[in-house]
A and B are shown apart, each in its own frame.
Chain A
């Protein structure tokens, strides 16, 4: 094998989905033994490109060369056979199988599925310091450990070329550092790493080369030494990035949401939300920082009445909500932007105007005397589409046919329209493009100015710091710290989130 050949060359790759051209005439060369970053905003087509390289999707046009040789990749097996491994944006693990089973799956030929495989996994784990126990069930692992299992999966197959699709999205800065340590080790061992992110600082610190993708095409390939984060951002977006920030404080001393000793236990009796107390006032945005899986989702569901409380009290204004059904809580004035819009926010196969009714089935303009008021709902949907700039030809198309950002804008518009006192916004801008992102932030600011109380949960630390009046940190279900968004940096917040700096910044 000659080392002068690029490890991977992609030429003229085009991939069309119904209604979208995800990739258009993409050209990338990845030199062997380097860390090559690909950046681009949400929906730019990064994942699609990588799936093509991994054989999960076929390009409509273009050629792929691996180590100088042109290849046709029909399935992941083809890619694996050529030494390509991929860690996906979303975990690709079966919870109810052991680590061993997850790792050897599909690669049973190498070392079987028994003792030999177990030894090999231990070996790799030790070699790269991954600290993975082959006999644990995956469902018992935390996010970081899962990430390492994913990497182990790829290494186990002897991959020479590693694709990491947004591996850092769910990691805190410290874990990211560890991961980057691992990547450098891998590079030293002669592996090639293709690394996707839209967090520019990270990219600048770890990559040897950076390719920028915008709207499905390659815009430029640069060296990290030659550009600043700002320049990169402009390459990505084609204009300046919007910045999340609040202007003057609108916080009043009228409490809207008050939690007192809220505790939620899972089926095994473990407290996933542990004695949480907090108050959000009119005009206040309270951000909750935490590594994913530390109880944020359960806290939200407890406030929404989707999970039963084990102890504690939830009040909204003067009303006690504890024990109340979700519907009553919504009627009492809670709006809810769910974390997973496809699962919790939309009826994908239903038209937009029916989605307008969802969550507001008992309130005008959607109902009149127990019956659905179609005209009312339609009229109000038109209003939302107009006011929130939802890009759609009409309100009779199914929600599934909108792009992610437009789906999100529809949800935001809907949740704002019941005149809520409290808005729970879980990752409100996750996976939406920049334009939609700034629009959503604008709407939040506007509503806050009018006295709305907001509970904001986000994995994007910039958003969290920029958009919150108050910041609380959640760790293993407990509120462990409080931070001043005016002064704290993402790094400091990150160490609070892992518990490293517990109490110090309070």
Chain B
């Protein structure tokens, strides 16, 4: 029986995901056809390109950042806390961590650990600002985190100047001092490609496992979920919601601090003007797509990264690569809608099921 129901809720998620995928492929095909392109050959080109070793490495590396970002967002979402500020949190964290890592050379391992800890701390502290504003002043975290994203940009711009935390890199770029070899994470070779997998991928996977464990097995996780499902019931059960808001937000920010690490420690070794931006915003979409669960998010971030990567070949084939953005948005919107419908139907089935089992139906 347990297995039966467990399987059922799985089936539900799968059905939702499948319907949404079919729906968005259909939308994409329609858009493509209307604009004069051949959908099957477009998809085929994407898959051909996507399965090249370079593309696979690129997809996985991208997915690492997306995954962490979506996890950060999901911690908040699990208790109906909308941390739109992941973007600012990870950028500020990566910048300061890079500055620290570039300034002090430490023995290997310790060096990486210090950089990561700085990132986690900065991310968490920056996220504490909206959390405190929310619990002490009642400011909606949606608005405050958005404002803080902008303000983070200002702070980064201020600090990222030669004479402050940055040095000139080449004639037109500035960045923090390059992290020495002891602070880098060596990449993992991938057969058939010169590109290397970020070894931080492993940490991302571990973060996912930790997230799952935290949500499903710890008291904190229970409180978090309870606050998300019914805040009033959680309060009555003794959950201190203000404390939960602060803790969840700080935790979300701390995870956000990790987002820039794959790139920083595995690829660029400096935070410069061209450090990737916007991963925090993408994470929101991916968290929604993955239903805020660690496994769902894993699939979602792979899908998203795959679409991003294979969009290159569309550009090459003179197909507007923005079709990919349409696919992503369509998947997202249809997933939320379809899941809503599926869970309503599921609830109904449940109630009918219970009544039928008990024979409680009135004569």
A residues neighboring B (CB under 8 Å): 17-22, 24, 45, 215-217, 304, 306, 325-331, 336, 338, 343-350, 354, 357-362, 367, 370-372, 391-394, 396-398, 400-403
Contacts and interface: CB of A to CB of B under 8 A. Distances in A.
B347 A400 contact: yes
Given A327-B239, A372-B219, A393-B353, 14 more contacts: A19-B361, A21-B362, A326-B236, A347-B233, A349-B229, A358-B237, A361-B226, A362-B219, A372-B221, A393-B358, A394-B5, A396-B2, A397-B5, A397-B350
Interface of B: 1-2, 5-6, 216-219, 221-223, 225-226, 229-230, 232-240, 347-358, 360-363
Contacts of B358: 391-393
Contacts of A21: 361-363
B352 A18 contact: yes
22 contacts: A19-B360, A20-B351, A20-B355, A20-B362, A216-B362, A304-B236, A343-B232, A344-B236, A347-B229, A348-B229, A358-B226, A361-B219, A361-B239, A370-B219, A371-B218, A371-B219, A372-B218, A394-B2, A396-B2, A401-B347, A401-B354, A403-B360
A126 to B, nearest CB: 41
A326 B232 CA distance: 13
A367 B218 CA distance: 9
Contacts, number: 137
Contacts of A217: 362-363
Contacts of A358: 226, 233-234, 237
Contacts of A370: 218-219
Given A215-B363, A343-B230, A348-B230, A361 B237 contact: yes
Given A19-B351, A396-B1, A396-B2, A326 B238 contact: yes
Given A19-B354, A348-B230, A371-B219, A361 B238 contact: yes
Question: What 7 A-B pairs have minimum CB-CB distances, sorted nearest first?
Answer: A19-B355, A327-B238, A393-B357, A359-B237, A344-B236, A19-B351, A326-B238
Nearest to A392: B354
B240 A398 contact: no
B interface: dominant SS = helix
A361 B351 contact: no
Contacts of A357: 222
Contact of B222 (A331, A346, A372): A372
Contact of B236 (A216, A359, A397): A359
A402 B350 CA distance: 10
Contacts of B351: 17-20, 400-401
Contact of A345 (B217, B219, B236, B350): B236
B237 to A, nearest CB: 4
A354 B228 CA distance: 14
A207 to B, nearest CB: 25
